[in-house]
Chain A
Amino acid sequence: EIVLTQSPGTLSLSPGERASLSCRASQSVRNNYLAWYQQKPGQAPRLLIYGASSRATGIPERFSGSGSGTDFTLTISRLEPEDFAVYYCQQYGGSPLITFGPGTKVDIK
């Protein structure tokens, strides 16, 4: 079973700073089938990144994904006020078929 671990649990930063969020898998993610989502309070998640590094439609360029195998990173180059939220990684194609990480909260310092 693929288990995803996200770190840190909470990231306290100021607007304009760079954010690096980690997602580590307990075993290699097939074909780098990893996605990232942003969720704000009271809202559904929003797809940011799929295939580890492809930005979804309409997602600003300040969001980027990287990594392969078991180690993946979501980077927000310069935090905007609307970027403070919880971020989840998700793998697809493993066993079980789809699993999510526990999330990283990015809050305002």
Chain B
Amino acid sequence: QVQLVESGGGVVQPGTSLRLSCAASGFIFSSYAMHWVRQAPGKGLEWVGVISHDAKVKIYPDSVRGRFTISRDYSKNTLSLEMSSLRVEDSAIYYCARDPTMGEPDYFDYWGQGTLVTVSS
């Protein structure tokens, strides 16, 4: 069965960096685009970015572009999110999610359980 397990969250100070990971299993990792979505405590969902199945295309919203970088390791079936210049407003639960198609980025059919990032001085 499809499993996505995030790790790497924690408490960090503003302006620092943090790397999140998402271990994928139960499906052919190289066949699917993958996304990161975040949710601030008690708030709604915000899309953080996508990496295509072949890692050739990466797209980010304005809120994180230039600060966050998504990558993937096919040998380890792992998705990563490198976050730099972190801000208090980046505090959230970060979910990795699978995109069910190989075409344009669209919706998310499987989600991990999330990892909490708290940015605080």
Q: Which residues of A contact B (CB under 8 A)?
A: 33, 35, 37, 43-47, 50, 56-57, 88, 90, 92-93, 96-103
Contacts and interface: CB of A to CB of B under 8 A. Distances in A.
B86 interface: no
A93 B104 CA distance: 7
A29 to B, nearest CB: 12
B44 A47 contact: no
Given A35-B107, A47-B109, A96 B44 contact: no
Which of B59, B104, B108, B113 has the largest count of A CB atoms less than 10 A from its CB? B108
B46 interface: yes
Interface string B8-21: 00000000000000
A97 B95 contact: no
Contacts, number: 59
B47 A45 contact: no
A33 B105 CA distance: 11
Contact of B44 (A35, A56, A102): A102
- 10 cross-chain pairs, A with B, having the tightest CB-CB distances, nearest first: A44-B111, A35-B107, A98-B47, A92-B106, A100-B45, A50-B107, A102-B44, A96-B61, A103-B44, A47-B109
